[in-house]
Amino acid sequence: MSTENQNGSLQTTFNNAVATVQFGHPASNSFPRQLLDRLTAEINALSFNETISVVVLQSEGSKVFCSGASFDELLQVENEQQGTEFFSGFAHLINAMRNCSKLIIGRVQGKAVGGGVGIISACDYVLAIPESAVKLSELAIGIGPFVIEPAVSRKIGKAAMAEMTLAAHEWKSAEWALQNKLFSEIHTAQDLDNAVANFAQKLSSYNPEALSEMKKIIWEGTEYWESLLLERAAITGKLVLSDFSRNALTQFKK
């Protein structure tokens, strides 16, 4: 299935028991709300697809995996309800990924910022390249990585999460991400696709029922995220209305 419009593109292809979902947006693979909703719906649909057992999540291009929320849409937020609604998009996506009955492999071919780091954290296994630096820049624009924090902290721990968050202007290297368990493997750009394909095919050769049960165990104890992430979206939705955030977002757009 493939969908494409001014709000970005989304395409799913199938190879045996592996579904590859690719998203893209002209603005550094950022996420307007419509694209978030489309990706969430696709993950939910694949969860019930009995012909697959593994999902590969990837993005277009070669330099940026995902730059997080759409700044254009953030600047259009006029009240707390709109702010909460926008950031709940990331909440719904992360919950869809953790609830998905299929194991999700992340293919990270470039840098990731903010919500992009949250999406990586919601993957079950991540293969990246040496250029795949990561950053949580939310404090620099007057908000915080509140919605994605549970997913990021679950992967790298509270201390590393705090380090990333407080050093809001600092890129963390792919090696740092590997050492802190955000990434599972690092490969050269030339080898990444083969590494992802080989791992996905090997994983999909296992008993699908065992994989599904393993997925439940991997995410055990996160059931409360259904309400927690939406509560966090409300916090962010309020903060994005501050004068600090308005000014910072405008500066970032220049």
> To 10 degrees, the CA torsion angle through 27, 29, 30, 31?
120
Q: Give every CB contact of residue 172 below 8 A, 6+ residues apart in sequence.
A: 133, 134, 135, 164
Q: Is the pLDDT of residue 244 over 80?
A: yes
Which tokens in the block code for residue 121? 């954290």
pLDDT confidence band for 1 (50 / 70 / 90):
very low
pTM: predicted TM-score of the whole model, two decimal places: 0.95
> Would you state the pLDDT for residue 137?
94
Question: How does pLDDT run across 30-76, given as a tens digit for each residue?
Answer: 999 999 999 999 999 999 999 999 999 999 999 999 999 888 888 88
Q: Is the pLDDT of residue 4 over 70?
A: no
Identify the helix (H) or strand (E) that includes residue 93. helix 80-99
Question: How does pLDDT run across 20-42, given as a tens digit for each residue?
Answer: 999 999 999 999 999 999 999 99
Residues forming beta bridges with residue 23, ordered by sequence position: 10, 59
Q: Is the pLDDT of residue 239 over 50?
A: yes
Higher pLDDT, 77 or 170: 170
Q: How many CB atoms lie within 10 A of CB 11?
A: 15
Average pLDDT over residues 122-145: 96
Average pLDDT, the chain: 94
**Rounded distance, CA 101 to CA 49, Å?**
9
pLDDT confidence band for 2 (50 / 70 / 90):
very low
Roughly how many angstroms between the first and final C-alpha of the chain, as a whole number?
36
Q: Is the pLDDT of residue 253 over 80?
A: no
**Rounded distance, CA 21 to CA 120, Å?**
14
> Would you state the pLDDT for residue 74?
83
**Rounded distance, CA 60 to CA 102, Å?**
22
DSSP 166-220: HSTT-PBPHHHHHHTTS-SEE--HHHHHHHHHHHHHHHHTS-HHHHHHHHHHHTT
Higher pLDDT, 233 or 70: 233
> Would you state the pLDDT for residue 5?
56
Q: Is the pLDDT of residue 6 over 80?
A: no
Which tokens in the block code for residue 129? 């390249």
> Would you state the pLDDT for residue 134?
98
Question: How does pLDDT run across 176-204, given as a tens digit for each residue?
Answer: 999 999 999 999 999 999 999 999 999 99
